[in-house]
A and B are shown apart, each in its own frame.
Chain A
Amino acid sequence: MKQFAVVAPADLASAARMLAEPNRSALAGGVDLLDLLKLELAAPAELVNLKALGGLDRIESAPGGALRIGPLVTLNQLAASPAVRERHPALADSAAQAATPQVRNLATVGGNLAQRPRCWYFRNPDIVCLKKGGTKCYAVAGLNRYHAILGGGPSFIVHPSNLAPALVAYDAAVTLHGPEGARKIAVGDFFTLPKIDPRRENVLKPGEIITAIEVPAPPARARSAYLEAREKQSFDWPLASAVTVIGLNRADEVAYARIVMGAVAPIPWRAPSAEKVLLGAKLDRALADRAAQAALAGAAPLAHNAYKIPIARAMVRRAILRAGGIPDETA
């Protein structure tokens, strides 16, 4: 590990200025950053400690149910918050199922969104892959059982964040503060595909800090669900996850639908074709099945990860049924 200094900014503006200098990293919980430092995948001279800034660790809820989540809110805080549980249970569940209790106590929402991928070629200090400025993605011809089945190329990482698919499904927005001021963008636009730039996973510019995540109240009568499939039940990353937000009209037809998958693509992967299958129809198992088929219709697996397709499909189908209140055989 290279030597580094930890600095405490006085306010947001100075934090943004410090971070705009080359070789600086924002430090939140440090869960991912410290790993990157140990692997020498990041070697910043200074860590700008966001915890020195006040007021970024709160969850505020508006009367209608909209949430404003500070970037330093921890995953455990998010999972346990009654306000989040009530109107945005899929977000709470996505936090509750991530990592381990110890990690969730440290890991923050901002850090979760900005964490680097888990690809074992990326994380291997002896390999310089496309994402690290090299010339090839080793997953293409290598060991790719956990890699992308959707949206891949030229790099095939999957985005590691549990929260991101839930935030996309709830139409959340992030506020980014940079040296030139603030901007607010949809969480769906925060993440970026490798074909645009394989070295990055999001649009954060130098100096920009995630300062808030705003989650609107879901439409009336909407119900939501988060499900993930893990090889191990303790301490593991999902093979695939699915978030569904479903609103029914008075005739019990689907009037509103969001379907987003995690761990299958380099970004949280929304499936509009699957949403279309649901819209205007009455929910039942067969419909959920068709929507799940549609969600994975475009999947393009690599040599060793085609098995993730049926798993993702099962997650989508089950999440639809759960959100739709239809008894799930695995309940």
Chain B
Amino acid sequence: MIKVDYAPMPFVVAMEDAMRPDAPAVFESGANVGSPHVNETGNVAAGFESAEASVDAVYTTPVQTHVSLETHGAVASWNGDELTVWCSTQGIFGVRDDLAVHFSLPPENVRVITAYLGGGFGSKFGAGHEVIIAAELARMARAPVKLMLSRAEEHVATGNRPSSRQHVRIGAARDGALTAIELEQHGSGGIGGGSGSAAPYLALYRCANFRTRERNVYINAGPASPMRAPGWPQGCFALELAIDELARKLNLDRLEMRRRNNPSPVRALEFDLGARAFGWDERSRTPKSRGPIRRGVGVASAAWHGIGASGPQAQCVAYRDGRVAVRIGTQDVGTGTRTIIAMVAAEELGLPLRSVTAEIGDTRYLFSLPSGGSMTAPSTTPAVRQAAAHLKGKLMRLAAPALGASPEDLVISDGVVRVRAEPNRAIKFADLCRRIPGDSLAADGEHVPNYGGYSMTQAGCQFAGVEVDIETGIVRVTDFVAVHDAGVIVDPLTARSQVNGGIIMGVGFALFEDRRLDPQTGLMVNPTMDDYKLPGVFDTPEIRAYFVEVANGITNTGVLGMGEAVHVAATAAIGCAVADAIGAPVRDLPLTPDRVLAAIGAV
């Protein structure tokens, strides 16, 4: 029996309130407002001095929650001092190691399995309290325990994208060249931190003089956790809206303004491609309206660092019966990891896809990294390809005597090994496998450190079209064109799915999502999937995705991750399109009817 006594304490749930000197302290040990993270280059004052026009405005973004369809949770089961956990996680090895630390076990006594995962978006690294509680209870109960959080608990306690208040000053010369950027940012990660949003200000456009100051503000609310491109969607929204406002002052086409400040030759190409596909020139110049419906268009830049890291190792195994398995201790967060791993192995081995199975999501396999930072595809595929290549070498050595040729003279494609010079001398893969002396033939591979490569950043851009009903303030996103560099596209279907998901999440952030905290009780009033509004089918625009496959030479596959690059610009593009449609910027997310109506002076 546990008896709990509750006493109400002073609390603060609005960031502006928490910043007041007399605000209740969230932590007794220190101030609510943290010390600034500063980035500074050049001379900002001089930059503004030389500007022909400038914009000085405040933009805000709310707290967005991850809303993974599968909540956090696990099933834990003990066998003596061995613990097995079936867990909804983006990082099986991280969970294993955390559990090993918590229970003082050697890591090999802990097995973590994530066969499938219903989304994580950055909120599922490591063993959270729910995993540890499940394991503790299972130990006490001497029986397996399943603990999955409720939707309300998920909204409140498992992380979120922090809020932001971005005071932006930005100046440009007559030709549109940016002369200075200054950002005074506050953001709240609740009782946690990590609310910065300056990154896009420094990375998206060329500007010699900038200063960004980011400060975290504590409030009495659930802690932030990484969420799909941490800081970027917030920063992009404010920056891109400010750039639009500046372009208007300079009487410059908004795309042209971006072209003039764009540092990336890849994005220059993407701007052209996207503008043509979207019909930017025509659509941006002819304001179209039908009764109270106003149409608008917007464009925004995207960037990310979807390159991989070392660590992952893969194993490729051919069996006597002709099956091939590729095993790697990664997990599929819903991005299609399983599919592309099988594809890479099948291609390297010259086999049809159906003869290769990818087995993932188990710490019994060789190590791989957590799935985050768009690093899974670029980190795992090189290890898989190397393992497949090593296995191919072994298979060729097995085939050589049968074909009376040396291994170097053999090639394999479509499931048949042939002598390169005499293709009729051949052996079917299935027949070759029957020559395997034991039951299986295995080879390992690893992600070797990235080669120098062409570029460490990947460029993208997105164009959005919206319709705004100016009598109701209701915004509909009609269509999107997304142009992205993801290196070599392994599977166009799963790649397009990433684009779709990134944009739909951007629609939610742009129009609907907001963790609303009641000032009287501190409680979240919308911890459901009804009141916390998410885009549905009719809210989803028509999306066209184009890939610029830059041969980057970074790894043996040249694959880049794209989960984040495809998300960072979506909300910004919508924000710019709404401003275009109604002739006034709405500087606060989400772009709900009250704000749209206020921006046009209807309330």
Contact = CB atoms under 8 A, between A and B. Distances in A.
A232 B536 contact: yes
Contacts of A306: 594, 603
A307 B292 contact: no
B595 to A, nearest CB: 8
B603 A307 contact: yes
A234 B504 CA distance: 13
A313 to B, nearest CB: 8
A309 B603 contact: yes
Interface string A123-145: 11011000000000010011101
Contact of A124 (B476, B523, B539, B592): B523
A304 interface: yes
B291 A328 contact: yes
Interface in A303-331: 304-307, 309-311, 313-315, 328-330
Chain B interface size, as a band, is 35 or more
A145 B476 CA distance: 20
A124 B528 CA distance: 10
Contact of B520 (A123, A138, A236): A138
Nearest to B594: A307
B592 A231 contact: yes
Interface stretch (B102-110, B206-214, B399-407, B511-519): B511-519
Contacts, number: 102
B594 A304 contact: yes
B521 A126 contact: yes
B355 interface: no
Contact of A234 (B474, B538, B594): B538
Contacts of A254: none
B471 interface: yes
Residue from B474, B511, B592 with most neighbouring chain A CB atoms (10 Å): B474
A147 to B, nearest CB: 11
B576 to A, nearest CB: 20
A129 to B, nearest CB: 10
Contacts of A329: 290-293
B531 interface: yes
Given A231-B593, A232-B539, A234-B538, A314 B290 contact: no
B471 A310 contact: yes
Contact of B603 (A124, A143, A310, A330): A310
B9 interface: no
Contacts of A232: 511-512, 533, 535-536, 538-539
A303 B213 CA distance: 33
Nearest to B150: A38
A233 interface: yes
Q: Is the interface of A mostly helix, strand, loop or mixed?
A: loop
A269 interface: no
A234 B536 contact: yes
Contacts of B157: none
A32 to B, nearest CB: 12
Given A120-B526, A127-B523, A142-B518, A307 B535 contact: no
Nearest to A230: B474
Interface string A224-254: 0000011111111001000000000000000
A305 B598 CA distance: 12
B257 interface: no
A330 B290 contact: yes
B472 interface: yes
A207 B512 CA distance: 41
Interface in B494-541: 511-512, 516, 518-521, 523, 525-526, 528, 530-531, 533, 535-539
A234 B535 contact: yes
Interface class of chain B by DSSP: loop
A229 B537 contact: no
B474 A229 contact: yes
A121 interface: yes
B473 interface: yes
Contacts of A310: 471-473, 597, 602-603
B362 interface: no
B536 A233 contact: yes
B291 A127 contact: no
Contacts of A143: 516, 518-519, 525
Interface in B268-310: 290-293
A233 B592 CA distance: 13
B539 A233 contact: yes
B294 to A, nearest CB: 12
Contact of B523 (A126, A231, A239): A126
A307 B593 contact: yes
B244 interface: no
Contacts of B472: 229, 239, 310-311, 314-315
Interface string A204-231: 0000000000000000000000000111
Interface in A266-310: 304-307, 309-310
Nearest to B473: A307
Contacts of B531: 118, 120, 123
B469 interface: yes
A141 B520 contact: yes
Contacts of B597: 307, 310-311
Contacts of A138: 518, 520-521
Interface string B570-594: 0000000000000000000000111
Interface of B: 290-293, 469, 471-474, 476, 511-512, 516, 518-521, 523, 525-526, 528, 530-531, 533, 535-539, 592-594, 597-598, 602-603
Given A229-B593, A232-B512, 5 more contacts: A120-B525, A123-B531, A126-B523, A141-B520, A142-B518
Interface of A: 118, 120-121, 123-124, 126-127, 138, 141-143, 145, 229-236, 239, 304-307, 309-311, 313-315, 328-330
23 contacts: A121-B518, A123-B531, A124-B523, A138-B520, A142-B520, A143-B516, A143-B518, A231-B474, A231-B511, A231-B512, A231-B592, A232-B536, A233-B536, A234-B538, A235-B536, A236-B533, A307-B593, A307-B594, A311-B471, A311-B597, A314-B292, A314-B469, A314-B471
- Give me the 7 closest cross-chain CB pairs, A-B, nearest first: A329-B291, A234-B536, A233-B538, A307-B594, A314-B471, A120-B525, A234-B538
